[in-house]
Amino acid sequence: MSEHGNWAEWVYIGVVCALLVWVGAEAWNVERLVEHVPADAEVIKVTGQQWFWSFEHEDGTKEIGELHVEKGKAYKFEVTSKDVIHSFNIHDYVVLIDAVPGRINIVWFVPDEVGEHEIQCREYCGLLHYNMRAKLYVEEST
């Protein structure tokens, strides 16, 4: 055994370790960037319950089953639930976070185009889960 070198194994170990470090660092960095809420984001309280979504803006305006936001503005969703676990999802903007009773989970996004988008529950929450939807209306900024 002693007559052969093992440099190839060390190169292999080095490459694998470097790749693992890189993958971990990249994922950590992206998570950090995505979770960093901009300071000027407007807070919207989101509540899920069987089987609809309700929203409360910073100025106290409440909406049920629909949400109106402005293009180009940052929004911070504070998501919770009144009964069972739901999951708040705006598919077109890759927004997805669980709505858990007794917890406030945070996710933020910036709508960049005027239009209508589907909001839906992504955690099976009972009989009408399939229809636990809301509409996101992105409007021109005033």
Partner 1 sequence: MRSKIGLLVVFTIIFIIPTLNYAFAAGDEPGEYLDRRVVIWNLFFRMMVVAFTIGAVVSGTMVWLVWRFRESNPNAKPTKYEETGEW
Helix (H, G, I), strand (E, B) or coil at 11: helix
The residues, ordered by sequence, that sit 6+ positions from 74 with a Cβ below 8 Å of its Cβ are 37, 38, 40, 41, 42, 108, 109, 110
**Nearer Cβ to partner 1, position 37 or 100?**
37
Residue 40 within binding range of partner 1, rule CB under 8 A: yes
Residue 113 within binding range of partner 1, rule CB under 8 A: no
- With contact defined as beta carbons under 8 Å apart, do 117 and 140 qualify? no
Residue 32 within binding range of partner 1, rule CB under 8 A: yes
- With contact defined as beta carbons under 8 Å apart, do 71 and 141 qualify? yes
CB of 58 to partner 1, least distance (A): 17
Residue 110 within binding range of partner 1, rule CB under 8 A: yes
Residue ranges that bind partner 1, judged by CB under 8 A: 10-11, 13-15, 17-19, 21-23, 25-27, 29-30, 32-34, 36, 38-40, 74, 93-95, 109-110, 112
